[in-house]
Amino acid sequence: MKIKLKDLKVNSLEFWLAWKMLFSRRALFGGSAPLALGGLALGVACLFVSMAVMSGFESTLRQAMADVTGHVRVVKTNRTPDSWMELEEKIRKAEPTLVSSTRFTSVEAIFASRGLISGVMIQGVDENRYAQVLNLSSRLITGKIELAPAQGEQKALALIGRGLADKLGLKPGDTFRIVVPISDSINPGVFRRRVGEFQVSGVLDLGKNDWNQRFIMTDLKSTQDLAEVGDKYTGLILRFQDIEEARNSGFRLNHVLGRDYWIRDWRDSNENLFDAIKIERPTIFFVVFIIVMVAAFNVSSTLYVNVVQRYGDISLLKSLGIRSLNILKIFSLQGLLIGGVGLTLGSLLGLILCWFFAWGQSNLGLIPGSVYKIDNIDVEIRWVDFLSISVATFLICFVATLAPALRGARLSPVEGLKYG
């Protein structure tokens, strides 16, 4: 049976016949058809949820990196005479998409409070510019975003991660001490203790478990005084207009600034995780899609039974002048209609499962942060994922229904009338 492209067009009569023959008690609502349709919907839902979780994991991690560490970090590797304003101007000339920058200083220290100690990382940022680069307000759990002490206040303010706050029982308004080892200027092998006192202004969810457990942010001047480095700073944190182009901007800056600076973009510190996600996404899609394939061929067996039950109807249609190609299109349409119903039900079920997953994270602690780096994933449903699932589902349903459709198309009227 030769089929031309123009013959594949479906008219309203063929669609109406496919609809009436499918949505009947004998077909879709009888026998094993509901189970086959349920299996297809469940497979689509599993595929839907797995892609949403993988996309959400990637987006959540990327957003955490951008909010807390900026898009690109420029670290000085030697004692260059450039001021930070000259350095920013040099960067802006090389990358006009630069939004803003802020100086930062990082110091390793020991956190001491109420008889408990913990190793921490203190990051001091320019109080007048950090809000243009970092998005800490969206990370605030309790308290307020303040780094500079009020006029007349002696204690420096600090923002801490929620893991550190829970472990040491701290809340906004509480004070804690930081101990920093300072090397002797004459004998670098000898250290002395430098103690600083800070007041908690706010508690943040920084997006990564290790940050929540050991990250403290304060203003640049307080960090410099604590480390006794004068007006020196570690480098600049940069924010660009587009985070996706930040890596390319970092590569270009590396060439422009040369060996005097070390360039690190938001992706570098978690390169292995992002590469793993890139590899795992198609792998998980394929593995879970096997469920959809199995369910689609269960639908095929159901349609095959439907064809056998419709021998009399097929023979009558052929006697009235309906060609074999029309019969093929009618039963193929049934497969696509089942795919559409399964996709719709599966997508709705997937949305419900995504909601339960989000609820379980908040109330049951489904994701241990010590294992997965992050303990909360913002489930993300991407249109490209939904489109891929839809195309794959319709395609496999169409292929699965070709066998019963061909069987119905090849049936002779005389043979079918024996079953009528």
Report the alpha-carbon distance of residue 247 to residue 180 in Å, rounded.
Answer: 33
Report the alpha-carbon distance of residue 265 to residue 272 in Å, rounded.
Answer: 14
Residue 226 has pLDDT above 80, yes or no: yes
How much of the chain exceeds pLDDT 70, in percent? 77
CA distances from 382 to 49, 54, 56, 60, 88 (A): 11, 10, 9, 14, 36
Identify the residue with better confidence: 344 or 362. 344
Residue 38 CB neighbour total at 10 angstroms: 16
Residue 317 has what pLDDT?
A: 67
Local confidence band at 4 (pLDDT 50, 70, 90 cut-offs): very low
Residue 307 has what pLDDT?
A: 67
N-term to C-term CA, the chain: 25
HEC profile of the chain: CCCCHHHHCCCHHHHHHHHHHHCCCCCCCCCCHHHHHHHHHHHHHHHHHHHHHHHHHHHHHHHHHHHHHCCEEEEECCCCCCCHHHHHHHHHHHCCCEEEEEEEEEEEEEEEECCEEEEEEEEEECCCCHHHCCCCHHHEEEECCCCCCCCCCCCEEEEEEHHHHHHHCCCCCCEEEEEEEEECCCCCCCEEEEEEEEEEEEEECCCCHHHHHHEEEEEHHHHHHHHCCCCCCCEEEEEECCHHHHHHHHHHHHHHHHHHEEEEECCHHHHHHHHHHHHHHHHHHHHHHHHHHHHHHHHHHHHHHHHHHCHHHHHHHHHCCCCHHHHHHHHHHHHHHHHHHHHHHHHHHHHHHHHHHHHHHHHHCCCCHHHHCCCCCCCCCCHHHHHHHHHHHHHHHHHHCHHHHHHHHCCCHHHHHCCC
Phi, psi (deg, nearest 5) at residue 205: -100, 105
Residues 6+ positions from 159 with CB-CB distance below 8 Å: 136, 143, 145, 147, 200, 201, 202, 203, 204, 216, 217, 218
Q: Which of 178-182, 303-307, 345-349 has the lowest mean pLDDT?
A: 303-307
Pairing of strands 140-143, 235-240: unpaired
Tokens of 12: 């309203």
Cα angle: 119, vertex 65, 197; to 5 degrees: 35
Identity of residue 132: Q
Residue 3 has what pLDDT?
A: 45
How much of the chain exceeds pLDDT 90, in percent? 7
As a whole number, mean pLDDT of residues 117-128 equals 86
The alpha carbons of the chain give a radius of gyration, in whole angstroms, of: 32
Tokens of 245: 């182009």
Residue 348 has pLDDT above 90, yes or no: yes
Average pLDDT, rounded, for the chain: 79
Residue 269 has what pLDDT?
A: 74
Pick the closest to residue 65 from 213, 237, 235 (CA basis): 237
Report the alpha-carbon distance of residue 277 to residue 279 in Å, rounded.
Answer: 5
pLDDT per residue over 324-345, tens digit each?
777 777 777 777 888 888 889 9
CA distances from 323 to 17, 317, 320, 385 (A): 14, 8, 9, 39
In the beta sheet, which residues pair with residue 124? 105, 218
Residue 6 has what pLDDT?
A: 46
Residue 159 has what pLDDT?
A: 92
Q: Are 331 and 400 contacting, i.e. CB atoms less than 8 angstroms apart?
A: no
Q: What is the CA 260 to chain-centroid distance, rounded? A: 35
Residue 212 has pLDDT above 60, yes or no: yes
Residue 193 has what pLDDT?
A: 78
Q: Which of 52-56, 235-239, 266-270, 346-350 has the lowest mean pLDDT?
A: 266-270
Residue 208 has pLDDT above 90, yes or no: no
pLDDT per residue over 35-88, tens digit each?
777 888 888 898 889 888 888 888 888 888 888 888 999 988 765 556 788 888
Q: What is the CA 189 to chain-centroid distance, rounded? A: 46
Residues 6+ positions from 267 with CB-CB distance below 8 Å: 62, 65, 247, 274
Residue 244 has what pLDDT?
A: 85
pLDDT per residue over 262-300, tens digit each?
888 888 877 877 888 888 888 888 888 888 888 777 777
As a whole number, mean pLDDT of residues 11-29 equals 64
Residue 5 has what pLDDT?
A: 39
